[in-house]
Structure 1
Amino acid sequence: MSGSDGISGDASVWEPTLEVQLKMLDDGIEPPSYAHPGDAGADLRARVDVTLAPGERALVPTGVSIALPFGFVALIHPRSGLATKHGLTVVNAPGTVDAGYRGELAVTLLNTDAAHTLTLRRGDRIAQMVIQRVEHARFVPVEELSESVRGSGGFGSTGGFTAQ
Structure 2
Amino acid sequence: MSTRPHAKHLRTGRYSESGQIYMLSAVTQHREPVFADWQVGRLVVHQFRQAQIEGLADSLAWVVMPDHFHWLLELKQSTLPALMLATKSRSARAINARLGRSGRFWQKGFHDRAIRREEDLQAVARYIIANPLRAGIVRRVHDYPLWDAIWV
Higher relative contact order (CA 8 A, sep 6+): 2
Greater strand share, 1 or 2? Answer: 1
Q: TM-score, normalised by structure 1?
A: 0.31
Greater helix share, 1 or 2? Answer: 2
Q: TM-score, normalised by structure 2?
A: 0.33
Larger radius of gyration: 1
